Amino acid sequence: MVDTGDTAPDFSAPLANGDLGETFTLADRLDEAPIVLAFFPGAFSSVCTGEMRTFQDRLGAFADAGASVYGVSVDSPFALNAFREDNGLEYDLVSDANHDVVDAYDVGMAFDKLGIDEVAKRAVFVVDGDGTITYAWESDDPGVEPDYDEVEAAARDAA
């Protein structure tokens, strides 16, 4: 996993923002920093839904900190758009269906119980305007959610 102090791996991937065809490129979004990248295993699963809704509930606090929030999973942009709409998420999601971002951040894991070779671990990174990771957290247990107060404080510190 990349860690605090590392340069955030740049990437381009499809953006699920209600439309199709737009791409998210980290280097092009650094003016939105701090950027919170919240990796999650899969849309429509109970814990992931709870996590993404919690980020939605706290979106105002992240905006007050000057931060932009993006969810990242290996789901297709079609699934992520449906997930976003069903849950009233006002922030964008990044589709890493090719697993390039998960691999670059070294946060992939197998979900053996479901027979899935690779999903994203639950992980959160805060990236500052220089492209440096100022906060890194990951869990090997997909049932564990991040400490949202800690993530919010890290976003405020990176502003």
Among 156, 141, 128, 137, which residue's Cα sits nearest to residue 1? 137
37 located within any domain: yes
Residue 119: its pLDDT value, please? 82
pLDDT of residue 111: 63
Structural domain span for residue 52: 31-158
pTM of the model: 0.94
Asked if residue 129 belongs to a domain, the reply is yes
Residue 144 placed within a domain: yes
CATH of the domain at 136: 3.40.30.10
Q: How many domains does the chain have?
A: 1
Phi, psi of 84 (to 5 degrees): -60, -45
The answer to whether residue 8 is catalytic is no
pLDDT reported for residue 19: 78
Residue 127 included in any domain: yes
Per-residue tens of pLDDT for the chain, all 159 residues:
799 999 999 999 999 987 777 899 999 999 999 999 999 999 998 899 999 999 999 999 999 999 999 999 999 999 999 999 999 999 999 999 999 999 999 998 766 565 556 788 999 999 999 999 999 999 988 889 999 999 999 999 998
Q: What is the pLDDT of residue 91?
A: 96
Residue 7 lies inside a defined structural domain of this protein:
no
102, 37 Cβ separation under 8 angstroms: no
Find the catalytic residue in 38, 43, 48, 123: 48
Cβ neighbours around 21 below 10 Å, total: 7
Q: What pLDDT, on the 0 to 100 scale, is given for residue 110?
A: 65
Task: Report if residue 9 sits inside a domain.
Answer: no
Do residues 115 and 91 lie in contact, with contact meaning Cβ atoms separated by under 8 Å? no
CB 42 within 8 A of CB 75: yes
- The pLDDT assigned to 45 comes to 87
Residue 116, pLDDT score: 57
